[in-house]
Structure 1
């Protein structure tokens, strides 16, 4: 049935809907009814049934699919069904994040203690899930029998004697961007155009991407996608515009837009969108092979919460290659980030439409921090969830003086924050501290109680860091402390010998420009709402991530993490812009004029943000995507090379998907930087360059010597100005012509060689 929540900060320009009570009187909010909840339970039950059938009939593919989906996506559904009825968006967030947290904590516990029992652990959680599903289903069937069907949004019920509302007037109000929720409820009963358009748009994107499967081209994804793909994207944008302007929910189109680029990449390339994902897969395979983590080996082993969770799921599913999980991870995490940001925004914006706009803005402005299979991607979701829980005890609307302090967070929410804090502590190194910094800001502005709530995130992180202090030396340099300018500088490529291509510059400059524009809109909001301490709290929270670059440069990536943790608060401020103060004449105009203006502004904003998102995410595919051929070649090297062997990458190591197997710590990877860098490009001699590199490798201390020649390495060097692609092609031909190099594995875009002569430095 509909539950009530206190009215808080409204997204209306004047701060409060005129139709809403101004004294904090509760309003009905639609929650999931028995039918929706039974559907969620049926989905999990079907997955478990499919897994049981797969185990009995030895259906490998079905087992891989069902076990992976259950342990990484559905583990939290049954517990969420036992909770009190929630809105669909919050239920989805609780179920997905709760399941991921359970998988992380289960996996890291087994991995840390080296009690690796993946199948028995899965049996326990599956049994518990079945029990919880039975309890939840019985309760919902009883509610269904009793006629409690809170499926439709709550609509204001006229008082006795009141004149019945005119349906046509309700319909007109539903099209008004400033109409309250009950006005648009009547319009939602019509044909669900927005969901249908969203499904059609996603279908077009999927079909179009299936038609262009292959290796990434120099022009990126946009250069190969055809009219069907563009039509799908236009349909999604149109659905979002219609939803926003007509006051329908833009949830489906905005979440689909946030994942459209990564979905297309996963289908078209069939491999992770970032080379670094291969190294993370190597940690997963190491946990599977060794029955736990190897503490002190590297920072990935020490903060391996995500990797342990995936290792658990992979062992239960019988996955031979975890790269498939790494490939599809962004497709799941991108919409989830948008959803989490929306639920957080709803703590400040009572208007659902504006909350979804804030979440969509955040989800679509993340291309400076490429989403891929990484702890950071999960860390963002966990941080947003912590904020949403902590800010639940927020103060009433502006002008309400009944209490000056926020309500304390409920005990169960405090426990949930602690659990999330523990999962965050074992997953990512910096996310807990940036989360704590923002929480401290909200405590200072009296928006969060109790005052010690940030400790629930900070203490687990500090304890985990102290237990893994041996691997933090390279990240906590005393000389870097306080050097904000240097720490905030983006990565520099001093070894570059050529001008950087325009496409590479634009791939970073355009997303940065959108973030600057977002910040300017947020600044205008703060100025116009300067009397509202919540606006100031959001502004200071957006500045709080700067604390990271005060302490460290985080491997020259500090500025990217600062923007990542500032963007949620900037998005909320931008979405709450009081436009009527900027455009008073428009605010006093007719509903038709306001509707037209809303269509134009929303369309332009979405086209710009979506366009920059897609371009920023795909423009560098040629050099950024983990090539399938190169991935197979590095896997062959790590699986067959002797311990202590060295593989030369005649270019930058940033384009090499290495360290991707359980033996990654037994072999070496060597790049050009270690052998003197790149030669002069004015008079390039490929044969001389190959001879110099081979000689340097022969002198390297190794049991065996290998070399990898890959198109993606040449592409990366070309895009970052290290070496032209033509020169790299000549170098590849020189290695092929040298009789000392024996081709071990040859693919269309990559070749693995082994040195057949004995050189100095052999052991």
Structure 2
């Protein structure tokens, strides 16, 4: 690890803003084609078109069929058009210096990309969202934590606050989770802008940085989860950190925010602590001892959760393995392969552009070291953790605000430059928006959850058959949606592991007696009752990621229905719950 000293802390500030390029005035009007000229002076007209396309296009989402290329391909073309138009409106408004329209375009992008999560579904998406709702429900019912049962009870900030808000307001936690994503992004946008200003970007550069974070964030960590709140707190910390590079003015806010972060999420505070240490050692953050306080806070939380973490690998120096993604060995549908490639393109292009700008600024003698730390330090995560095959996704997520701070001045200068550079910047903005939207919505159909499924899952956990396993074929079932999950998890933490994790079952179509015998060998070997759950969303999930053929659901359903050892205990549209009582104990 190489630590560097930022000379800006001991020398007179240069005449240009430390964040990047010099302030750029709005472009002077030029002679354009009449249609283009009309659009240049009318960002509100473009936003109006965006809104019309969104209202008409979003209506097609709820009833759309599974598409292996994701939501943009499965919905009406008007829906992706609304996303592109939001980017067009932003570019025009930023070129003009129209602050109100620029903010309107940022909000429009949030609405177009994130609001469908709330208005086009009847329940929160992602099966793992419900693990978090189960903790909230347990707190509401018992008034306490089930510490030691799972990692979530060891980092309870989000769950405890949600339980308190739900009790105080009468709101249902599942409704809070359902509307979480669009509201979260509005808060994130505001905090990113504040952070940009604290890092000495101009007003318009700050708006450009905010738009980049809103638009390029394809990592699906914006649902009701500790990671989302952890990211919000981490970005919020960039505000006092940015203000404390020359003199200690944000010490108390940094410690308060870090304390909240330390009890919210397992991984995020380690990145923040690492970045703070680099800044302190490079004399780019004051006071120097604040890193020691942050380390002590994190150490205390680690000791408190020592029993929970004993079964996990806390540190691994295997960078190649840590950078590998979960399920990377499976070959999914062509749409999944395409979308994965798009994700890599967006990620690599963002990082490469950031590094190129940092090098250019360094060669011009402009300060780059502090910005380089917040933009590039997340890569250090790969030297310590695989985080269940998700570490590389978190690296991009954590690096995005810093990268946006670096890239924003160039984006502003580009949209306010002459015709050729403006056209190139505008095209790059449109392509980046389209690619990021594709990456962020590619898994839409594989992660849908319905209210009927939530109801069934709650009934199974509240039932009299216990102890028991609750086994979905693949993720696509509300996992642990109520506080009743605690008694099952106390029986075994793996009570609801999907069959995809069982050796020898992945990839089987269950169209032969040998496949079914392998399946039953797993079930009978448990010596406990087992619920097996099949659903329509699992069909798309398994096929999309290459875990099971699409026909595996029908084949297994047919064999279990005809096998007298299985009892159908719940059947709702698109969902089947079977019970094998296994009374041979």
Deviation of the 1:12 alpha carbon: 9.2
Gaps of 5+ in 1: 1-5, 19-172, 178-190, 395-405
The residue matched to 2:179 in structure 1 has which SS?
helix
**Shift in Å at residue 749 of structure 1?**
1.2
Q: Deviations for 1:606-638, whole angstroms, at most 9, x for unmatched residues?
A: 322221222112222221233444333222211
1:698 is aligned to 524
Q: What is the DSSP-based 3-state SS (H/G/I as helix, E as strand, rest coil) of the residue aligned with 1:725?
A: coil
Q: Which whole-Å CA distance do the structure 2 matches of 1:732 and 1:262 have between them?
A: 35
In the TM superposition, what is the alpha-carbon distance from 1:555 to its structure 2 partner?
1.9
How far the C-alpha of 1:662 sits from its partner, in A, is 0.4
Residue range with higher mean Cα deviation, 736-745 or 689-698: 689-698
Instruction: Give yes or no for contact 1:342–1:360 (8 Å, CA) kept in 2.
Output: no
SS in 1 for 2:537: helix
After TM superposition, give the deviation of residue 199 of structure 1 in Å. Answer: 6.7
- The residue that corresponds to 1:513 in the other structure is 345
Counterpart residue number, 2:37: none
Higher-Rg member (1/2): 1
Worse-matched range after superposition: 516-525 or 622-631? 622-631
CA distance in 1 between partners of 2:559 and 2:16 (Å): 67
TM-score (norm 2): 0.85
Pair 1:8–1:615, CA change in 2 (3 A): farther
Paired residue for 2:9? none
The 3 A distance-change label for structure 1 pair 578 and 300 is closer
The correspondence for 1:669, drawn from 496, 499, 523, is 496
Partner residue in 1 for 2:456:
633
Query: Would you say the 8 A contact 2:110–2:182 is kept in 1?
Result: no
SS at match of 1:534: coil
Contact 2:215 2:433 in 1 (8 A): yes
Q: 1 or 2 for the larger relative contact order (CA 8 Å, sep ≥6)?
A: 2
CA contact (8 A) 2:83 2:113 kept: no
| Cα distance between partner residues in 1 of 2:348 and 2:359 | 17
Q: Report 1:29-178 matches (<5 A).
A: 174-176=26-28
Partner of 1:81: none
Matched, 1:725 2:550: yes
2:199·2:239 contact (CA, 8 Å) conserved in 1? Answer: no
1:375-418 C-alpha deviation (Å, 9 max, x unpaired): 11111111111111121145xxxxxxxxxxx1331xxx322222
Say whether 1:10 aligns with 2:56. no
**Aligned with 1:382 (options 222, 233, 238):** 233
Confirm or deny that 1:596 pairs with 2:419.
yes
What SS does the aligned partner of 1:576 have? helix
For 2:455 and 2:65, locate their aligned partners in 1 and report how far apart those are by CA, in whole Å: 16
> How many angstroms does 1:432 deviate by?
1.4
Q: Deviations over 1:20-40 (max 9, x none)?
A: xxxxxxxxxxxxxxxxxxxxx
- 2 CA distance for matches of 1:472 and 1:622? 33
Q: Is the 8 A contact 2:205 2:412 kept in 1?
A: no
Q: Helix, strand or coil for the counterpart of 2:82? A: helix
SS in 1 for 2:290: coil
Alpha-carbon shift at residue 563 of structure 1 (Å): 1.9
Change (3 A) 1:541 1:233: closer
Return the alpha-carbon distance in structure 1 between the equivalents of residues 425 and 377 of structure 2.
30
CA contact (8 A) 1:362 1:567 kept: yes
Give the conservation status (yes or no) of the 8 Å contact 1:627–1:712: no
Residues in 2 aligned to 1:627 and 1:578: alpha-carbon distance in whole angstroms:
41
CA 1:613 to 1:335, structure 2 compared with 1: closer, same or farther past 3 Å? Answer: farther
Separation of aligned partners in 1, 2:303 and 2:243? 31
Quick check: 1:208 aligned with 2:57?
yes
2:313 pairs, out of 476, 480, 490, with 476
How many angstroms apart in 2 are the aligned matches of 1:305 and 1:466? 17
The alignment status of 1:503 with 2:345, answered yes or no, reads no
| 8 Å CA contact retained: 1:287, 1:293 | yes
Could you tell me whether the CA contact under 8 Å between 2:67 and 2:74 is conserved in 1? no
- In structure 1, the partner of 2:320 is 485
The 3 A distance-change label for structure 1 pair 752 and 578 is closer
Is the 1:284–1:307 contact (alpha carbons within 8 Å) kept by the matching residues of 2?
yes
In 2, Cα distance between the equivalents of 1:277 and 1:383? 21
Deviation at residue 296 of structure 1 after TM alignment: 1.6
- Confirm whether residue 443 of structure 1 aligns to residue 280 of structure 2: yes
Partner of 1:657: 478
Residue of structure 1 equivalent to 2:291? 454
Task: Output the CA distance in 1 between the equivalents of 2:170 and 2:222.
Answer: 26
Corresponding residue number in structure 2 for 1:160:
none
2:138/2:483 contact within 8 Å kept: yes
The corresponding residue for 2:191 is 340
The whole-number CA distance in structure 2 between the counterparts of 1:446 and 1:374 is: 34
SS in 2 for 1:428: coil
Q: 1:217 aligns with which of 62, 66, 72?
A: 66
Contact 1:358–1:571 under 8 Å retained in 2: yes
1:408 aligns with 2:241: no
| Greater Cα offset, 612-621 or 201-210 | 201-210
CA contact (8 A) 1:487 1:558 kept: yes
Maintained 8 Å contact 1:379/1:431: yes
User: Which deviates more from structure 2 when the two are superposed, residues 375-384 or residues 542-551?
Assistant: 542-551
Secondary structure of 1:743's counterpart equals strand
Query: 2:232 & 2:507 partners in 1: Cα distance?
Result: 45
Query: Shift of the alpha carbon at 1:280?
Result: 0.9
Preserved contact between residue 475 and residue 552 of structure 1 (Cα < 8 Å)? no
1:568 is matched with 401
2:569–2:577 contact (8 Å) kept in structure 1? yes
After TM superposition, give the deviation of residue 726 of structure 1 in Å: 1.9
Cα pair distance change 1:194/1:451, threshold 3 Å? farther
Deviation at 1:441, TM superposition (A): 2.6
Q: Distance in 2 between matches of 1:754 and 1:379?
A: 39
**Alpha-carbon distance between aligned partners in 1 of 2:15 and 2:243, rounded to the nearest angstrom:** 11
Encode CA deviations 1:188-237: one digit per residue, 9 max, x unaligned: xxx99656754763465245324542476234322343254345334422
What secondary structure is seen at the aligned counterpart in 2 of 1:622? helix
Instruction: Name 2:224's counterpart in structure 1.
Output: 373
Aligned length: 553
Report matched runs for 1:519-598 at 5 Å: 519-530=351-362, 532=365, 534-577=367-410, 594-597=417-420
Q: TM-score, normalised by structure 1?
A: 0.67
Q: Match for residue 142 of structure 1?
A: none
